[in-house]
Amino acid sequence: MAIPYPHFFGSEKSAMEKGILVHSPSSSSSPSVILTQDELKKIAAYKAVEYVESGMVLGLGTGSTAKHAVDRIGELLRQGKLKNIVGIPTSKKTHEQAVSLGIPLSDLDSHPVLDLAIDGADEVDPYLNLVKGRGGSLLREKMVEGACKKFVVIVDETKLVKYLGGSGLAMPVEIIPFCWKFTAQRLQDLFEDSGCVAKLRTFGEKGEPFVTDNGNYIVDLYFKKDIGDLKIASDAILRLAGVVDHGMFLDMATTVIIAGELGVTVKNK
């Protein structure tokens, strides 16, 4: 069941002050403020930070949604409402953000088991399997979030899909640069029955290859049909020499927080 935003923020006035408003229970009129996607992301992120307690070792996610959570953690540390937090960032960008906010940082070598990680996702299926990595940080995200006791995922309702790949957008695969065309072709051939198209991720006017924090390339897979059994698909991808990892996060999320027009929905494994 969705928690209405006035309840989530404490009052309708509070919701309006944050620039967010839904239908009033006592009125059938339309909302005077339209929820933007970024506002929905922020709501989900703030709800996720409620799971954070002083003394925790936290995995700090990467991306536009996770950024709001990291900002909120920094804010609560400054206010003294959180203490003795240690963050493990999932990218160079998140590392820089956390340093600017004064969040103490460490790594998996020093903290091989984390209490909690908070991150966004590009797709969430009905079983809480995820596609992540459209921001390019999938490998470090999977390493950190795979070492957590709890993994809280924060999304807006546009990220919900019937099956992974169902949005028609990219399912990323991180590969080594050596003979990337060869690897991309093998990935495409692997999912020929699903109408797969494999494209090297590029950036800039010259179309230079996007390079991850680990010095690798990313091949984005686009599917026209359901790829079937996800664990079989995962194993097939990982067996290919030249593949580092893929953006399917299977059976990893313990909680998914979804912000939509009607409120916040929390789904647990």
Contact, 87 vs 116, CB < 8 A?
no
Where residue 200 falls (left for φ over 0; alpha for ψ -120 to 50; beta otherwise) is beta
Backbone angles phi, psi at 128, to 5 degrees: 70, 20
Q: Is 141 a catalytic residue?
A: yes
Which of these is catalytic: 12, 39, 123, 141? 141
Cα-Cα end-to-end distance for the chain: 15
Strand ranges for the chain from DSSP E: 57-60, 86-89, 114-120, 123-124, 130-131, 148-156, 171-175, 197-200, 202-203, 208-209, 217-222, 243-246, 248-249, 255-260, 263-268
DSSP one-letter code for 3: B
∠ Cα 231 235 240 (to 5°): 155
Tally of residues, the chain: 269
Task: Return the amino acid letter for 234.
Answer: S
Let me know: does 216 contact 177? Beta carbons within 8 Å.
yes
| Residues facing 255 on adjacent strands | 152, 268
By annotation, the residues acting in catalysis are 141
